[in-house]
Amino acid sequence: MIHRTIPTWQTRSWQDELSQLITEPEALFTTLKLDLGHLEAAKQAANLFPLRVTQSFLNRMKPGDIADPLLLQVLPLAEEFNQHPDYSADPLEEAESNPVPGLIHKYRSRVLLIGAPQCAINCRYCFRRHFDYQANSPSRAQWLDALSYIRSTQDIDEVILSGGDPLVISDRQLAWLIDELSAIPHLQRLRIHSRLPIVLPSRVTPELVNILTSSRLQPVLVVHCNHPQELDSEVGAAFALLRNQGITLLNQTVLLKGINNVAETLIQLSKELFKLGVLPYYLHLLDKVEGTTHFDQNERDAKGLHMAMLAHLPGYLVPKLVREEAGATSKTPV
């Protein structure tokens, strides 16, 4: 028998990587050699919203640094128990705009489809951390209801596949869904919001790119990058694969206190993204969802950061500063 040594990253598929997520706080602490003084709080907070992180994302964190900007996006903290009257479980009142399970129709021309019941990483600031994925867990039967809703609503010209992360579903399911969508005449564009190209770059395979580009719908992929440290060569290669086949790549960032609320960081993020072919789209103020008060950056400072970006960057590298308001007809410029 001939033995060959193949680096593990070449032999493991993205599905394997997804099945080997880090979900135990102990594992996170041991791998990163973190101060165990924070472990008990992490375990408690993980009961509110589970810990989930890919090995790939973890590899980009600095060992021993409890304040690492990537770590803080996934590390459960005692602060998540803080209550505040302005923070609720469903601040965007999405439940009001949920005409059929798995579908959110808030803005006139576009509709959001929950592509999957989970994500590859659980972001602690997630506005859907209390979302009822159980009642909105996509199945084919449920997608059929969503598809008939879209078919019967002429105003809709864009479908957005969103979080849970739509790219965790299999190529086969995704191809089926896109096929069904492209048969609806009034649809023009297919938009996908996903963190996978960043947190699990191996998900971006030639097969996936082929599925996204072979329908008549114009594909747009919005990645969610919050910090330049998230961008490494594997992520760059994934972006290149997507971009080279004509997929428009945009980025949205959530402004997070303690993670990216520094002008230089945001400026560098825009520049690094553009080098990799991604245009900044939105800089979001945090949604006031329970358990996230510690990430909130007040509006005055947010505006100051945005002004600094305007002063240092060409206009096309400055994302729009927005907030989401329940009942508004679009995102609200700040």
Q: From ligand SF4, ligand PLP, none, which one binds at residue 331 (CB under 5 to 8 Å depending on kind)?
A: ligand PLP
Q: From ligand PLP, ligand SF4, none, which one binds at residue 330 (CB under 5 to 8 Å depending on kind)?
A: ligand PLP
Instruction: Collect all residues with Cβ–Cβ distance below 8 Å to 330 and sequence separation of at least 6.
Output: 107
Minimum distance from residue 279 beta carbon to ligand SF4 (Å):
19
| Under rule CB under 6 A, residue 220 binds ligand SF4 | no
In sign, the C-alpha dihedral spanning 285, 328, 123, 86 is: positive
| Under rule CB under 6 A, residue 302 binds ligand PLP | no
For 291, list phi and psi in degrees, rounded to 5. 95, 0
Buried-state track 189-204, b at ≥16 Cβ within 10 A, e below 16: ebbbbbbbbbbbbbbb
Q: From ligand PLP, ligand SF4, none, which one binds at residue 165 (CB under 5 to 8 Å depending on kind)?
A: ligand SF4
Q: Which of residues 137-176 bind ligand SF4 (CB under 6 A)?
A: 163-165
* Rounded Cα distance, 279 and 282, in Å: 10
Applying CB under 6 A, among 106, 203, 257, 323 the residue interacting with ligand PLP is 106
Minimum distance from residue 330 beta carbon to ligand PLP (Å):
5
Q: Which of residues 190-209 bind ligand SF4 (CB under 6 A)?
A: 195
Applying CB under 6 A, among 60, 106, 128, 227 the residue interacting with ligand SF4 is 128
Instruction: Collect all residues with Cβ–Cβ distance below 8 Å to 268 and sequence separation of at least 6.
Output: 228
Q: From ligand SF4, ligand PLP, none, which one binds at residue 163 (CB under 5 to 8 Å depending on kind)?
A: ligand SF4
* Rounded Cα distance, 196 and 238, in Å: 10
For 175, list phi and psi in degrees, rounded to 5. -60, -40
